[in-house]
Structure 1
Amino acid sequence: MTDTTRTSPAISFRSVAKEFSGHRAVRELDLDIAYGELVSVVGVTGCGKSTMFNLILGLVPPTQGAVRVEGHDPYEEFAWFRRRVAVVFQDSRLLPWRTAFQNVCIGMKFAGVPKAEWPDQAHHWLTTLGLGGREQAFPHQLSGGQRQRVSLARAFAVDPDLILCDESFSALDEITATSLRAEFVALVREGGKTGVVITHSIDEAMTLGDRILVLRPPGHLAADLTVPTAPDRDELDRLRGKILENMSPPAAAESTETPAPESGPGTPAVPAP
């Protein structure tokens, strides 16, 4: 479990820039995320969300500046993050020839969890996420929502400090997505995890985050907004307005910058946690 009493940031970006083949994807990005926070990152396509995600994961190094996760450089110290970080993608990324139970165990195997812990952890998290009795089902026998539940079970089973979600609920119908969002938030808070959720949806960002980081092309922080506790409709409307206001800059203000693909050419695929 993450130690939420620590005063240093769980994640920090200091004057971070990232370029791909001369195209600037992130510029002068400065931010802190505290231990135990649940933060949404929102912005238009091409604003640098995926590049920020890949920098946190250590898949690419910054062109300039420093990225630190729990005080460590995620690119230079990639092996240190084994089991400390788990990822949930838009696609569940389950192995189709493995059962739900086996897919969760495979995640623990890659994370270095002792084999003796696999059965109890897999059963616990599949049951917690509403799949008790479906452990031996293969992915093709599960609905989209159930497959994403397996993906979440795989992430939580390794007991990571940090959970990253990349559009994890966007492919689901709204009823299923609403239920899974609520369960995800509850599990992150109960486990004292630090969570970062990348999303295109303003409503989802407001639902999931304690804070909302609004990125503006090319990859800089336009706003850092606090989500009110138990907000009423007027507060949500004002927050939505602030997000929209900061997402799209006047064309003239950004005319000197060249937008880039969020992940850049050749960005490696991330294996399932």
Structure 2
Amino acid sequence: MFYQGVLTKMETEYSNPIQYYLVFENDFININQLLNKNITMQFVKYQCLNCGLDKPIYRQGFDKQCFYEVPQAADWVMRPELSKAHLGIEDRDLEFEKKAQLQPHIVYLANSSNVKVGVTRKSQVPTRWIDQGAHEAIEIVEVPNRYLAGITEVALKEHVADKTNWRKMLKNEIEDENLVEWRDRIKDFIPAEVMDYFIEHNTETNLDFPVSQYPEKPKSLNIVKQVSYSGKLVGVKGQYLIFEDQTVFNVRANEGLVVKITIN
């Protein structure tokens, strides 16, 4: 049995454990059902998520030209503090930017390799935490737009990390933290104009990933260079497939690649 399609980040369902799905144009795979099975993945071609052309992917599933043109890849996506839709100022597409930026956003703490601060749309909770491989997370503030979330993140990352160590996350070298205490400890560093949005009384969310074997020395698979890879799938965490031979494959980092997946 085989499936073929263009890679996009895995869809997830919050359950115990997390359920993962690879969604193609005319089909989907429940990745959890492939655990402890041998699969073969082959690179077929590129397919830009915007124009659909077979051109090398530059970043985020887009070829180089599309990456610098589409609103989904503008600077404010990675740096929320640059958002300007609340001022009516266009970056690349004001209508798109208003829809994306002028909606409730959450600033949160998540613990994947360490405690980090992050920003996501409220509608993306807990999906964002799952994608980062966090085993626990908590909301700090809920604000009405992306800009306010962005300036809060900038202020807080002076006092808490804003990056995940993907190797440590995949090796499951984690320590449980009291995120309620973390939340209360960094409250004083929240910008004054955001303080009214602080979430005073909530508890952390815990996440359980479908992994039977964690890699001691994870090796990242470059499917474009290798063209074909076969291995036994033993886990999924974040957006990574984990194989028995310690190979790991970041699905999200390979968006825009057309692959053929064979279940052996």
Indicate the TM-score class for this superposition, using the shorter chain for normalisation.
under 0.3
* TM-score, scaled relative to structure 2: 0.28
- Structure ranking higher in strand proportion: 2
TM-score (norm 1): 0.27
Whose Rg is larger? 2
